[in-house]
């Protein structure tokens, strides 16, 4: 059963209405009910079939203002790449030793970056990392020889995304404390990136729906008129 605070803020949201972007962002910030600094998130319904390889949208976005959270980065690499990762600010660095820790149940990290030569080693924990969205992938820039750059970008606010089985992409836009301006700028980069990735085989409306919400608040639909170019 929803709490009194949630019911109170939900009463201010018209579920049938699609709000102008500025109004939607303002309303999201007003629906904060928790004492902690809630995350602001966006869900975008795409007109794609994720079962088709060319429509299985995935990639990464460098949010200009980050997400409000500095992720813990694990780098799996060997040799000189270890120092490169440490100098860039990686939280954990190693190879077989890190894989062994993961096999033992250790998961105290938010992102994993690896060099191509250790992917065989990482394969041992693919069934652990994969379902959690932590498996390094070249498409998101997390399998690379430029370890330092990858770590710095992630620490600065680069986030990975992948369309789910229902054709929806979920991404963080920051925290309530960011204010409307920064949330809007992060949102603009997300929309621009996804539009650029539209598959040529996707027919009809590409962005079918957009909704914003904060961690403990209701979804607020966005009127895509004027948002999409």
Query: For residue 164, what are the domain limits?
Result: 14-66+159-221
| pLDDT > 80? residue 5 | no
Query: 100: domain CATH number?
Result: 3.40.50.790
Number of domains in the chain: 2
In this structure, the answer to whether residues 191 and 165 fall within a common structural domain is yes
Structural tokens at position 28: 């999201």
Between strands 92-94 and 58-62, the pairing is unpaired
The per-residue pLDDT for 6 is: 58
The answer to whether 85 and 75 have CB atoms below 8 angstroms apart is yes
For range 185-207, the mean pLDDT: 92
Q: Kindly give, in sequence order, each residue whose CB lies less than 8 Å from that of residue 106, ignoring residues fewer than 6 positions away.
A: none
198 falls within a domain: yes
Contacts of residues 221-227 at CB distance under 8 Å and 24 or more positions apart, as own/partner, are 221/15, 221/17, 221/18, 221/19, 221/24, 222/18, 222/19, 222/20, 222/21, 222/24, 223/18, 223/19, 223/20, 223/21, 223/24, 224/18, 226/20, 226/21, 227/21, 227/191
Between strands 58-62 and 158-162, the pairing is antiparallel
The per-residue pLDDT for 35 is: 81
120 falls within a domain: yes
Count of CA atoms in the C-beta half-sphere (13 A) of 47: 12
Q: What is this structure's pTM? A: 0.80
Domain boundary among 108, 134, 155: 155
In this structure, the answer to whether residues 87 and 149 fall within a common structural domain is yes
For range 196-222, the mean pLDDT: 90
């Amino acid at each position: 059963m929803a709490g009194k605070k949630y019911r109170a803020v939900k009463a201010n949201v018209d579920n049938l209405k699609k709000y102008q972007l500025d109004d939607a962002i303002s309303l999201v910030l007003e629906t904060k009910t928790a004492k902690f600094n809630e995350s602001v998130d966006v869900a975008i319904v795409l007109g794609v079939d994720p079962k088709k390889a060319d429509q299985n949208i995935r990639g990464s976005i460098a949010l200009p203002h980050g997400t409000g959270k500095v992720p813990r980065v694990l780098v799996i690499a060997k040799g000189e790449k270890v120092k490169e990762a440490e100098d860039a600010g990686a939280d954990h660095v190693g190879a077989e030793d890190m894989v062994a820790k993961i096999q033992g149940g250790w998961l105290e990290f938010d992102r994993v970056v690896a060099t191509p030569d250790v992917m065989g080693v990482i394969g041992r924990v693919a069934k652990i990392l994969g379902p959690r969205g932590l498996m390094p992938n070249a498409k998101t820039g997390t399998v690379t020889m430029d370890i330092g750059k990858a770590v710095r970008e992630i620490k600065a606010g680069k986030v990975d995304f992948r369309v789910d089985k229902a054709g929806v992409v979920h991404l963080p836009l920051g925290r309530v404390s960011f204010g409307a301006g920064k949330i809007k700028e992060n949102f603009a980069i997300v929309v621009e990136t996804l539009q650029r990735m539209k598959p040529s085989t996707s027919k009809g409306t590409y962005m079918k729906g957009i909704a914003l919400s904060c961690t403990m608040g209701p979804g607020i639909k966005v009127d895509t008129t004027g948002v999409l170019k």
